[in-house]
């Protein structure tokens, strides 16, 4: 069984509609040591019928990943903007190589607003 410790367990990322968005997450064991993500699949899909299915996940070293959306993807996510901030819920998942284990690493919201 995998045990990971993300602090905070939920995060909110704020951006202007059409901006490039990127941030990094580092996986840690409960004792604070780095968790080696090698051999695991990390995904970060948006919840619901989003016009962009997921963040692009890029490994950085063995325990960190960067989640990103391009300016065009961010613009597509903000297309329904109606003069109020728009929030797209998402979650970051870790799956073992054989897909026998899948756990949620962290969840959050991508908050988009006009410039």
Domain boundaries, given as residue ranges, for the chain? 10-108
- Helix or strand (DSSP H, E) at 27: none
pLDDT tier at 105 (50, 70, 90 boundaries)? confident
Based on its alpha-carbon atoms, the radius of gyration of the chain, rounded to whole angstroms, reads 15
Cis amide bond preceding 51, omega within 30: no
Of residues 3 and 23, the one with the higher pLDDT is 23
3-state secondary structure of 48: coil
- Class of domain 10-108 as given by CATH: mainly beta
pLDDT tier at 1 (50, 70, 90 boundaries)? very low
Supply the pLDDT for residue 49.
84
81 and 90 in contact (C-beta within 8 Å)? Answer: no
Taking residues 11-37, report their average pLDDT.
90
Supply the pLDDT for residue 30.
79
pLDDT in tens, 49-102: 889 999 999 999 999 999 999 999 999 998 866 667 789 999 999 998 887 888
Supply the pLDDT for residue 6.
57
């Amino acid at each position: 069984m995998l045990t990971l410790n993300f602090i905070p367990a939920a995060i909110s990322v704020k951006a202007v509609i059409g901006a490039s968005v990127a941030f990094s997450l580092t996986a840690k064991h409960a004792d604070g040591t780095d968790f080696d993500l090698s051999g695991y699949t990390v995904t970060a899909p948006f919840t619901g019928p989003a016009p962009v299915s997921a963040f692009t996940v890029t490994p950085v070293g063995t325990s960190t990943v960067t989640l990103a959306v391009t300016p065009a993807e961010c613009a597509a996510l903000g297309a329904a903007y109606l003069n109020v901030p728009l929030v797209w819920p998402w979650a970051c998942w870790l799956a073992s190589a054989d897909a026998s284990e899948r756990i949620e690493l962290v969840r959050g919201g991508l908050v988009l607003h006009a410039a």
